[in-house]
Every structure is written in C-alpha cells, then in structure tokens.
A and B are shown apart, each in its own frame.
Chain A
Amino acid sequence: MSSLCREVITLQLGHYSNFAGTHWWNLQDASLSYDPESPPGEIQSDVVFREGQTPGGHVTYTPRLIAMDLKGSLRTLRQEGSLYDAGKDTSALTWDGSITMHEESPPAKNSFLEDLDKLDKGEILAEADFPSSSQPQCSARSLSVDTVNSHLARVQKSYRLECSVKVWSDFLRIHLHPRTISVIHQYNHDGEAHRLEAFGQGESLLQGSVLEELEDRLHFFVEECDYLQGFQVLCDLADGFAGLGSKVTELLHDSYGGRGILTWGLLPVSHPDSVSVSFFKSKCFVTRLLYLYLLSLFEQTPVKDLYRLLNCTLGMVHMASHSSLFCPLTLRGGLGRRPSSPTTFTHLSYDPSLWYHSSSVLALALDTLTAPYRLRNNSVPMWQLADDLAVSGRKVVAAYGAVPFPMMHGSSLPDALSTYTDVLPWRPLSGCAEAGDGRCYGQWATLKGFEGQKLISSLAAGTKPPTPLHSLHSGEDVLASYIRSFYPSAPLALQLVSTPSELAPPFPQIFSQSLGAQGFLEGQPPPPGSTPRVISSVPVMTSLQSGPALDPWLSELHRGVSAFDIRRVAPSFLSQGPEVSDYQEALEQLRLLARCYRDDSRGVMRSSSEEEDDD
C-alpha cells in the first residue's frame, strides 16, 4: 500500500528466547547492506533497526530491541554494550574513602568473539580459508565498504562453537543499544538458589523498579517511532518468564492499544538441568554413579517437568489473551510432559539437545514467518496478519516450516512442489501435527529465498505440462494452487520474498551435504573426502495455521494439566501466585480456547461424542 517505515519493536524474554533472538538478529545483520550504491533490499531493515548517535557523535545502527535475562547470564557481554561507552572508567567520583575492589576474572572468549574484538579494533583477520582466486575483485570493494560482514564473509571460517557456546552472547555478532539489555537481579541464571521456576514468580516480577525500567526502555524505543506497527515478543514458555511475558504483553496491550502484538512462545527440546549438569561435570566417579542411580529412582526430576508444563499452559492462556496472535515455537514433538521425538528435517542434521542448534532452526523459520510485515513494498502490517488468522477468539496459531525448502538447483517452483504431492514439505514448528483432513480456518504461507530460481515453469509452447502447476503464470498462483490441493476451502494468504536468509558465521553448519552453497539441492553429493560445503544462504517456506488440528492439541494440554491436583502434587508452584481460583479459571479458559477450534460443520454424531471426552 505504501512504503512508510512501520517500525516494530522486539522484546526477548528469557534465555532461550534470547538464543533464538540472537540467531535472528545475526541473520538480519548478515543481509544488511552498508553499500549506498546497492539498490534497497526487499526487506526494510529500518523496521527493526534504528539509527542513533553516540555521545561522541558516531552514527550507530542497532536493533529496536529489549532483551530481558537473569543475573549471571551475560558472561562476556557488558550490559550496556561497548558502542556508547568510551570504556572502563572505574574512578570513583562519589566516594573519597577506601574502596574495596571485587573484580571477577573475565570469562574466556571463544574464537568467534576474539575475532569480533579484533575486527572492532581494526585488525584484519588471518584469511586462512580464503580462496586466492577471487581475491582481486573483492578487495577493491572492501576498501570502500569495510564492514564486519564483509570481513566475516571473506574469512568464511567455520567456528564450530558447539562446545563453547554457553550463553547467547557467545555467538552475538552485532552491537546492541545500551538500553537493550535488562538484567533481572532477583533471580539467578544458574545454580541451585533463587531460580525463576514458576509462573507466579515471573508474574510478580513486573512491579516496582523492574516495571519502571521496562516502561523507560519501552518509552525510549516507542517515542521515536513515527508509524509503530507493533511488537514482536519472544518469550520462554517453560520457566517463570512465561509469567513475566503474560504481564509484559498485558502492559503492551494496555499502553499501546491498536498496535499489533505478535507473541512467540519458545520452548527448547530439553533443559540442561542444573543438578544433572553439576553432577555430570563432577570429576568424582562416585558422584556420577550416584547421579545415575538417582535418575533411575526419580525418572528425571518429575517436579521440574511438571512446573514446565504448568508454566507453558498458564503462559499460553495469558499471553494469547493479551496478544493479537500467539504462536508456540519449538522443535519438541509436543507441549506435554512426554512429547514424541523432536521434529526432524530431511536436509538438516541438528542436535536437538543443543540450544545453539535448535534455536538456529527456529530463528531461520522466524526470519521467514516475520517477513510479511518487514517488507519494503506491499508489506502486510502485523495487525492485519493477526486479523486474518485470529478470527472469533482463535488467537493461538500453529507454525510449520520447510527448513530449508527443498528445491533442486536450477529447477522451478512447480517442479519442486510436484515432488510433494502426497504430503506437504513442511514440518511442525509448534509441536502440533497437521490433521491431514484438509480443514483449516485460515492460513498464512510465506516462501522466502527463491532468488535465482524460476517461479513458473518455462515449457516450450505446445508442450503438455506434466502437472497443472506447470501451466500457471505466477509464483503466487503456483503456491496457492499447490496449498489448495491440501486445504481446498481454507482462506489463504501468501507472501513470496525472493531474497534468501543469509547465513554468516557463526550460524551453525547443520545442513546435509545434499545442499549446495545457496541452499538448493544438488544433483550429486560432493565427492567423499572433499571439504564440506559451506552453506551461505537457504530458502525457507513457512505456514501459520489456525484450524481444527489445534483443538485436540490444546485439549491434550488441558487434560495433561487437569489430570492432577496441583495443591497436592506441586503445592509450592502457587506459593507466589496465582490464586487457586485464578489457576482454575486459566484452565477453564484453555478448555474454552480449545473449543473455539472445534469444527461445528461436522455431523452431530461426532461432536456429541467429543462432548463426552471433556467430562
């Protein structure tokens, strides 16, 4: 409609959300172009980034981002970043008496962070892996546009950070604004004591100084926006951040009515339980043995699992009611306590237990899911996305993704899609399996990154098209016709974005060897023994769906939580709120929410039998 810059402010609440967020910002940064000559890209980066100025007068470009995490979660990252500060100034102007210095020894930086430091200081990296043949053309350009991106891209180092990533700042490429990071001092990131474990703890956090600080940060980022379209909130579902997220979305809803609030509830596949980690790290053999014995006794800390289930349930109910749209994002097989095995993708080999890996897959999907409202032209504002999907109270949607979208190098979209005639190429990203019966209330599908490939088949005139898809004349028609073959009557909105997600170090190399450097399938795998290909970009297709499939999925969650008496099984969960009556009301809301997705158009027989299920 117009090319106004409709700003979006991002909030990341919790450690796993910050993992996914960090990957997401790295992806955004990798596709930024600092070259004034290059034409403006399809994605308008000003939507999520802001231009600022340091006290020294340097121009900065940083995310419109508020990231909240707990005490002890930053490691090498300074809370205020290093962009706006001249450096350490420990002189005490306010006190002339004695001063006791308590200096924590700086944690060791991994090879990637060391390289970033070198680049910041203006040093050139050793270009060990650099293929000498293409050097001449490149170096001429890098003189004019000397950026971290170009350096890192040229070095193309594969960092292999799998073992060294402990917290999200270990792979953060970009500088953050000093107002971005907010550390919650009431709870510890790790250890035994003061953990943010329960929904109620998180809920009661948002008052006093924490609330005031958040309001100040929001004010800073919101006030400068001319056409704020809304907020994208990434929030951890498994711990107390679910409660904090509920209060934060409520605050956004109350203070910025009319703006879109898109909330993504993130859930890792597994949690590194602090007890088990410290036991496992123990050098003492007996301790480790003892731990294994305890494990066999208690079957993996059931109380913690129970807490996670409760946090997830309450978080979902509350955040859905305060947001324009709520979508869980996880690679777990389901939201319950005993989910089926994690989601797998044909062309990915990631380690589900590594947060660094699983969050990178989610970030890649999120880059495509969020693309419609970040486009320079014909963008679809957040509220419209939400209006399209969240009809009659169905504010929870499920996400699916083909990461990467399987497409042969040099083929066309109809070719790619016609190999998936029986089953859709995407896999669940919300732990909710598709019903497969073609019923759906609304769907938003986005294909991003087909650059260089054909959207329609270019058959010579007179040739009989092998499938009906090959006879269509636009990419939108091809995709729409393909999806309609699975969901014949469902309202469908589509967005096609040509630019792929650019993968720059330190994005983990989790792709199968059947992919080429651009992320398209290669006819032949590389000969054995050759150096593995480095994938620099991938095409991704995602879908957001609201349909009857969410009814059994939500109902199962409801059954899982209602199955036990919380006052008996986990009495301490409610010690910091909510009240038992509020808790029960939330469960009732979940039941009603599940019912919103029930398809009433079917026969009376079936719906009456489902009524019985409820009781």
Chain B
Amino acid sequence: KANSHNLLVSGAGDIKLTKDGNVLLHEMQIQHPTASLIAKVATAQDDITGDGTTSNVLIIGELLKQADLYISEGLHPRIIAEGFEAAKEKSLAVLEEVKVTREMDRETLINVARTSLRTKVHAELADLLTEAVVDAVLAIAKPNEPTDLYMVEIMEMKHKTDCDTQLIRGLVLDHGARHPDMKKRVEDAYILTCNVSLEYEKTEVNSGFFYKSADEREKLVAAERKFIEDRVQKIIALKNKVCPNGDKGFVVINQKGIDPFSLDALAKEGIVGLRRAKRRNMERLTLACGGIAMNSVDDLTPECLGHAGLVYEHTLGEEKYTFIEKCGNPRSVTLLVKGPNKHTLTQIKDAVRDGLRAVKNAIEDGSVVSGAGAFEVAVADALVKHKPNVKGRAQLGVQAFADALLVIPKVLAQNSGYDPQETLLKLQTEYKESGQLVGVDLSTGEPMVAGEAGVWDNYSVKKQLLHSCTVIASNILLVDEIMRAGMSSLKG
C-alpha cells in the first residue's frame, strides 16, 4: 500500500490523480510481457475483491526478487514454487486463526471503510466518505442476502467550489424535464415509472417501396399521433384520479421518449415528465420510491405509483439534475459526488467504489482481519516456525514467501517517513512479546494493536491476495528461460 499519490498527466494534458494500483495499471500502456501478465492478475484481484491491487503487485515483485536470489545460487525454480505452495497453505491456515468473526455493526463497518479509504484520499475526506459509504450499504442491505451494490448509484456533479460526497436517500437523475412550463420543484409527489413510448415513431405499417401519396402519408401520421395522444390521456386520467384537488404532485419518469406534443399535453395538466431515463435506473426508481415499472398504460392503477416527498431540478451549465428525495423506505440510494474537475471526481468515485466493496466484503465475510501490516507480521512469524515441517529445499521457498510478505509493513513505514527496517524490527519484537496482532501506527511509527485502533482489513481481500500472488509468482518462475530473461530486464 504505497502511501504516495501518483499524478498522471498525459502528453495532451489529461490528468489522473490516483493511488489506486488498479487505476494506475489501467492507465499505463504496459508493453513488457511479464509486467503485463502481473498487471492482468493484479487487476483480476480488483475485479474479485475491489481492493488489494497494489499489495498484490508489491508481493509478487518481492516474491520474484527473493526467488531470484536462490535461483542464482542454483536452486531449481520448481522447488521454490513447491515452497510457495506450502507457504500459501500455511498462510491460509493462519488467516483462519487470526480472523475476527463478529457482528458487523455500523462501527466495525466504519472502521473497515476508513482503513480502505484512508489509503486512497486524505483523512478528512476519507472520514466524510466513510459514513456516506457505510450508510449507503446499510440502507440497501437485506439480512442473509448478498448485497447488490448496483443499487447504490454514484452520480457525479462538476461544481466550481464544492468538493464533497453526500448520501441521497433516493435517486438523482442527470436530466430534467424538457418543457418550460413544467414545475422545477414538486412536493409530496406520485411517481409513475414507465417504459412506454410517448412519441411519434416510424409507423409499424411497412410503407412499401418508395413514395406513397402525400395524402395517404398524412393519414398514417395522424393515426399514429392519435395513438400516442391516447396513451398520454390515460396517464392524465390516472393523475386526475389520484390528485383530485391538485394538492399533490405527479411525476412521470419514462424510459422511452416523450416528444414535444406529449410534453405539452402533460405540462398543461401540471404533470412533470422526464424522458429517456437510463435503463439501469428503472429498477432503482421503483426500489427507491415504490410502485411498479409499467410497460403499458392500459392497466394503470393507483397501486402502480411510487411516492417521493420532494422532487426538484438543479441546473449547472448545460447539465440538469433531478433529485428524487424523501422516499419512504428507499431500497436504492445515491451517492452524490461533487468536485471541481474531472480528475478529482474520478478519484473520489474510485475511492467510493472501493469503500463500498470493502463494506460489502465485510458484511458478507462476517469477519475481518487486523490491518496496518499486523497480519503479514503474524504470518511471516508463523511461516518461519512452520519451516521445519516442510521437506528439503522447499523450505527456502517458505522462507522467501515469509520475507516477501514483510514488504507490506515495510512499505507502510517507509511511506510515512519511518525507517522500514527499524519499524519492522519493533513490530516483530512487540508481536513476539505480546502475542497480539500489532501493526504500524502511521502517525508515530510505533507498533500498535491494530484491532484496538480500529484498523481492519477485509478477510476476502487477504485470502484472494494469498492465492493470486502465489499462483502468478510460481507461473512466472516456471516458464522458460526467455521469460526469466524478461524478468531481469523488468527490474531495470
């Protein structure tokens, strides 16, 4: 977990600020075959767990470095790979021992999210994101069911001065009503979610070859127009039924188009109409506001309608946003990310995604692991003790594995400005004496009990990490001389 940020500026001036290894790997044009293999695996790690890319690359690099020492002394790569395998098995066993299984209450989740986010954005912002992220997941989580992060929409808004992230218990759509007479703010509103064309389209009747008489064409157009008008009238009829006094609002959110004629008809009745809603927001809409997404206007009933306490439009330049808020019991929520420019927005969004994944992982794992390098110190110690149980020279592979894992606490210390070896020694001594899982306190450089300080990592991330770095390092070792020739140039 490198603690320095990387500001990438392309030749043309495109900017990316990141600390996320996954983002880095995606941005760079990696041409070296071995490096690209590592990049592929590391990004696969991110796809599975949403985190750990940087750790993965660090450990793989370190494994190869350690292995290289032994290989140059004549040890066959296959023996080392056997050692790696044995070490992985033992490490996984240690992971099962040290993981802490407990109820994932809000406080624990906040700790997990904070640990993940603080490595990605500065502490103040991380703490702001932490609560938003945890509350977003808690809002949509159902007991004993996998959490669907899809139900958290991340909406970005470019804003000159603001830089924050807030949780909207409802939905934010990035478009507005396309009629000047429609209200910009509606309170206590019925929400009709539908997927019905309210625009004149090409007629279904095949027009045959080339031109028909203009008269006949006009008739066809009129018939089609009438067809669309009828649909609009059905919506208006429902509105008049549920809001007889006109004291409540009525908002139509349509996945298909609404043409200017239909918009006009809706506006006259005081209905706000939004067209071309994104497909992925249709399900979210009904989960946020209730009601049913309608594919036809033929069987409209008041039961199809959802409800929102407040619907309002917000305009920024040519961008329009519609906030659908104060929903009763929203099962889909929105994280609204504001920032002054694209690269800030992208960085916050990446961080938010990682934070969401960390919280989801924690809930699904039902357990967490001590962070801040504590886990790695404990595993390295266990591996050294385990070495005599491994046959022959494969022991060297186990040793290499143990040494490689220690790169994590070392890098943590180094990035905070402490001497990596000194810090590591302190950690190892403290661990041996107290038997507690101690990691680096980044503000002092001294050992601390990670669990007590609330530094928790995901169990599944650690598990995946152990698997994938072993597999990839072994594979690279086992391919032929050509690939290893490539490896040595990689270090340069």
Contacts and interface: CB of A to CB of B under 8 A. Distances in A.
Contact of A442 (B8, B125, B209, B317): B209
Interface stretch (B134-142, B184-192, B276-284, B468-476): B276-284
B206 A387 contact: yes
Interface stretch (A18-26, A90-98, A139-147, A404-412): A90-98
Q: Is the interface of A mostly helix, strand, loop or mixed?
A: loop
Interface in A391-421: 391
A94 B275 contact: no
Interface stretch (A8-16, A50-58, A583-591): A50-58
A66 B285 CA distance: 27
B342 A104 contact: no
Contacts of B7: 90, 92, 99-103
Taking residues whose C-beta sits less than 8 angstroms from the other chain, chain B's interface range is 35 or more
B364 interface: no
A88 B317 contact: no
Given A55-B316, A193-B32, A381-B202, A94 B348 contact: yes
B295 interface: no
Contact of B11 (A104, A193, A215): A104
Contacts of A491: 209-210
Given A93-B163, A94-B348, A194-B36, A78 B13 contact: yes
A95 B9 contact: no
Nearest to B261: A226
Given A94-B348, A188-B29, A193-B36, A258 B197 contact: yes
A387 B205 CA distance: 11
Interface stretch (B14-22, B236-244, B402-410, B431-439): B14-22
Interface in B9-58: 9-15, 17, 19, 26-27, 29-33, 36
A93 B5 CA distance: 12
Interface string A202-242: 00000000001001100110111111100000000000000
A192 B317 contact: no
B488 interface: no
Q: Is the interface of B mostly helix, strand, loop or mixed?
A: loop
Contacts of B11: 75-76, 104-107
B5 A98 contact: yes
Taking residues whose C-beta sits less than 8 angstroms from the other chain, chain A's interface range is 35 or more
Interface string B190-227: 00000001010110001101100010010000000000
Q: Which of A1, A52, A104 has the most CB of B within 10 A?
A: A104
B421 interface: no
Contacts of B279: 215, 255
Contact of B12 (A75, A186, A193, A223): A75
B17 A94 contact: yes
A94 B9 contact: no
Contacts of B5: 92, 95, 97-100
A85 interface: yes
B32 A79 contact: no
A104 B15 CA distance: 11
A191 B29 contact: yes
Contact of A106 (B12, B19, B26): B12
Contact of A94 (B29, B121, B160, B210): B121
Contacts, number: 163
B4 interface: yes
B178 interface: yes
Contacts of A222: 276
B342 A80 contact: yes
B302 interface: no
B430 interface: no
Interface in A66-124: 71-72, 74-80, 85, 88-90, 92-107
A110 B209 CA distance: 50
Contacts of A85: 341-342
Contacts of B15: 88-90
B276 A219 contact: yes
Nearest to A384: B207
Contacts of A97: 3-5, 122
B340 interface: yes
A95 B341 contact: no
Contacts of B163: 93-94
Given A76-B11, A101-B9, A107-B11, A388 B210 contact: yes
Interface in A264-306: none
B13 A228 contact: no
Nearest to B158: A55
A223 B9 contact: no
12 contacts: A74-B10, A80-B342, A88-B13, A90-B9, A98-B415, A104-B11, A192-B33, A193-B30, A212-B280, A258-B201, A258-B202, A391-B209
Which 10 residue pairs across A and B have the least CB separation, nearest first?
A258-B201, A223-B276, A55-B317, A103-B9, A104-B11, A53-B318, A185-B26, A106-B11, A383-B202, A98-B4
Interface of B: 3-15, 17, 19, 26-27, 29-33, 36, 121-122, 125, 158, 160, 163, 174-175, 178, 197, 199, 201-202, 206-207, 209-210, 214, 217, 257, 259-260, 275-276, 278-280, 316-318, 339-342, 344, 347-348, 351, 415
Given A192-B33, A219-B174, 6 more contacts: A89-B341, A98-B5, A102-B7, A193-B30, A219-B278, A227-B259
